[in-house]
Structure 1
């Protein structure tokens, strides 16, 4: 007689954090970017298999879409506390210590993404000023890179909101 294991229940969904701008905005941008990335990659593989040539523009567009997915998913990961952290330290000890560590980590994250926003905006300005173009398609490179400071700014605002909620204390 074989013993069967009890059915596994799905993990309970975590409640959505209270935010003013819905996280669904970044979620949909991530989903649509991933879908477009999968479509483009599939089309390129299919064309390469059938014709032994590939689309030159797919690599540029794929890199752009991966950057968009990384930054939009990163934004929601911070707010949902799904980002990479050392849980042994972050979740150990009394609540007061956990809160202080969360404030410090969020503050440094705000400073990092603020710096990334400023420096990537300078990079976009340089690309615009010098008229850099992409190698495969020949479009201005700032068309791709303008999204790095924009999405880094979004992450900065999300983190600033988190920091504000942490500093207000438990509600």
Structure 2
């Protein structure tokens, strides 16, 4: 099956964000305890990297099929009904992330127009809000991949997502 997104996209982004958070926090610790001078911008940058990693983590979980849901009830149903419920679940997720994408684009647009910047870094706030747009877009792509995957595996056992 042809994938919409590169297979390791979320993993690479998550490793990058975690690595950057580790480096910045390490710099903050060294600066505070060895140099005796605290960095004014490190907490803010780590907070923004954490926000980005949270929104990139959502499509990663969708890709792995590890989203939160109650599957024990579904396992007792006939296979055809299981597949139908999982398909409806995917459609609902698709619609939810499309709404998130639409409204997050509106928030980024308003934030861009306002010109608001962060206090310590002076970074435009729309870059932080852009994490919701990117996460929602990647989530839509991963849900579409799952829908296509389940449509191609008509005869197989119902999967966990």
- The TM tier, using the shorter chain, reads 0.7 to 0.9
- Give 1:27's aligned residue: 11
TM-aligned CA deviation for residue 132 of structure 1: 0.5
- Give 1:88's aligned residue: 72
Contact kept in structure 1, 2:45 and 2:121, CA below 8 Å: no
The alignment status of 1:42 with 2:26, answered yes or no, reads yes
Query: Larger RCO: Structure 1 or Structure 2 (Cα < 8 Å, ≥ 6 residues apart)?
Result: 2
Selected match of 2:86 from 90, 95, 102: 102
- Give 2:123's aligned residue: 139
* Deviations 1:19-66 (CA, angstroms, capped at 9, x unpaired): 343321111111111111111122213322335543222222212211
Bigger proportion of residues as helix: 2
Instruction: Report 1:1-16 matches (<5 A).
Output: none
Number of equivalences: 155
Q: Distance in 2 between matches of 1:141 and 1:28?
A: 24
Unaligned runs of 5+ in 1: 1-16
Unaligned runs of 5+ in 2: 156-161
Q: Distance in 1 between matches of 2:41 and 2:85?
A: 44
Selected match of 1:155 from 123, 139, 148: 139
Q: Distance in 1 between matches of 2:29 and 2:5?
A: 38
- Give 1:7's aligned residue: none
- Give 2:42's aligned residue: 58
* TM-score relative to the length of structure 2: 0.83
CA RMSD of aligned residues (A): 2.2
